Structure 1
Amino acid sequence: MTWLWIGLAAAVLACGALLPVLVRRRHTAGDEEISARARYLRLGHYVDIPEPSTDPEAATLLRKARERWHSAGAILATASSEKDFEMAERLAGQGLKLVRQAYRRLGLPGPE
């Protein structure tokens, strides 16, 4: 009977020690993180072109879009809250708007 109680106590202690390890999860903002990273990657696809020399306004728009891309990337590198991911997504969205304007001026198909 004593061995039963010792075994039961050992099992309870083992579960108590393992529980925090098994339950511990990295906090993520879920959908916000996925959406922000997707928009950031999409923007990166469009800003990775040489600056046009024929249209200075388009070049300026693309430069501003690249700034938004870099800023969103910097935020995503350390993001840990919904607010961080929302900010990164908003910046990437602004960059995509600028890309649309630049590509329209250049007569290129851009993001929709």
Structure 2
Amino acid sequence: MTWLWLTLAGLVLVAGALVPVLPRRERRSDAAETRARSAYLLLGHHVDPPPPAPEGDAETEALFRRAIERWHSAGGVLAEATTREEFALAQRIAEEGLDTVAEAHARLGLPPPAR
């Protein structure tokens, strides 16, 4: 009889541990997360470290600073993201940064980032 109580107690503990995890996994979209992380990593590749801007080209430097801000913002959103909408927001932020990098690259005569 004791083994029955121990088994039931073990099942209750396992079920209690799974309750917070299961709803989170249901809300999570692997495809959305993959797209967001891909855009974030691509942006990071282009801004860390940024290509040197020509001396006195404040506009290009400002573009790279904005792209770096987008990279940090997207990373912050990704760190907390659990829903499809949050991953989509992180992807949009990273894509804004990639657009800014493309603009800076055009000013430097470099090809735009591949997507």
Aligned residues between the structures:
107
Identity of aligned residues (%): 41
**CA-to-aligned-CA distance 1:26-51 (integer Å, 9 cap, x gap):** 63521111110010000000011254
Please show how residues 35-74 of structure 1 align to structure 2 within 5 Å.
35-48=35-48, 49-54=50-55, 55-74=57-76
Following superposition, the deviation at residue 105 of structure 1 comes to 0.8
Instruction: Tell me which stretches of 4 or more aligned residues in structure 1 moved more than 4 Å.
Output: 12-26
Query: How far apart are the structure 1 equivalents of 2:32 and 2:104?
Result: 27
- Is residue 47–residue 65 contact of structure 1 (8 Å, CA) maintained in 2? yes
Give the alignment's TM-score, normalised by structure 2. Answer: 0.73
Amino acid paired to 1:70:
H
Equivalent residue number for residue 87 of structure 1 = 89
Give the alignment's TM-score, normalised by structure 1. Answer: 0.75
Structure 2 unaligned blocks of 5 or more: none
Please show how residues 24-35 of structure 1 align to structure 2 within 5 Å.
25=21, 27-28=24-25, 29=28, 30-35=30-35
Cα root mean square deviation, aligned: 2.5
Query: How far apart are the structure 1 equivalents of 2:19 and 2:13?
Result: 11
Structure of larger gyration radius? 1
